[in-house]
Amino acid sequence: MHERIGILALGSHEERHGAALPPDTDAKLASHVALEAAKRTGAKFLGVLYSSHELPGIDTGRHQGLEQVTEELRGALVNAKRTLGITAAILVNGHGGNDPLRDNLDGLQEELGMRLVFNRALIELEGPHAATGELSMGAAIGIADPTKLAEHADFERHPEVGFVGLKEARKRYRWAEQDAQEIKRKGLKIDKFLGEKLLERAIAGVMNDVHELSES
């Protein structure tokens, strides 16, 4: 039954996203996808975590340790099970730095007696950090400012965009270097129609997770 399935958003609330997007872009996008999937399936929307983790060597804002994020996640799931009778949950992750949480899910599932699914479709769909994909999704939900696109593309002022100016991260992570090179080749744009399509694909993925959990 879908009402026994919860959908919880994971994001970041204090991460630099250039000039055209707010610091809590990841949390807002993940919450949008989680809420829409909950509305369309009848699953319970469980809100969004406050804390977030970041990978070593990446300095884009204020994040918390993996232990703190795991503890907050555990508390949210315990409360959802106790208060709402939730027996399974989908974690909608909008921030790549949270990916190491996946390594803790088996232990949490066993401890809580709850099935958990880690959905990272948003990250896979958006492409480089704070670039065209994320800008476009931001425009689709009304949090992007197109008038600041030129400033957004000033990598001296906003080195976090596409990780273009984050030299340590580019040396440490091959994907970061590839993302930075992609930004240099393709540039940046805001396409609301593209953003809507990407969000719909992300929502559909979470809805599919809901259906699979309900049938298992």
Domain boundaries, the chain: 2-211
**Each residue's pLDDT tens digit in the chain (216 positions)?**
588 999 999 999 999 999 999 999 999 999 999 999 999 999 999 999 999 999 999 999 999 999 999 999 999 999 999 999 999 999 999 999 999 999 999 999 999 999 999 999 999 999 999 999 999 999 999 999 999 999 999 999 999 999 999 999 999 999 999 999 999 999 999 999 999 999 999 999 999 999 999 987
Q: Tell me the CA distances in angstroms from 79 to 38, 74, 82, 114, 210, one per residue in order.
A: 18, 9, 5, 12, 20
- Using DSSP's 3-state secondary structure scheme, residue 121 falls into helix
Please name the fold of domain 2-211.
Answer: Rossmann fold (3.40.50)
Predicted TM-score (pTM) of the model is 0.96
